[in-house]
Amino acid sequence: MHDEHGGTEVVSPEVKSIDGLASIHAAQLLTYLRFSKLRLGYLINFNTVRLKDGFRRLVR
């Protein structure tokens, strides 16, 4: 992915296979983003009927 300045944008995915995403999972991803100095991350839960229902985008 490229941003408007021509640089490369890095995204941090957090992959799960659980009954449902909880606030602790978002907190964990936000901690990863803070320590890695990234702004964008995705929580992806594969334990859903429709895969698109398991995606959650987080921006720090």
Mean pLDDT of the chain: 85
* Rounded-to-integer distance, Cα 52 and Cα 37, Å: 27
Q: What's the rounded Cα separation, in Å, for the pair 32 and 19?
A: 22
Q: What is the pTM of this model?
A: 0.75
Q: ∠8-6-14 over CA atoms, to 5°? A: 20
Return the structure tokens found at 19.
């009954």
At position 41, the amino acid (one-letter code) is G
pLDDT-derived band at 23, boundaries 50, 70, 90: very high
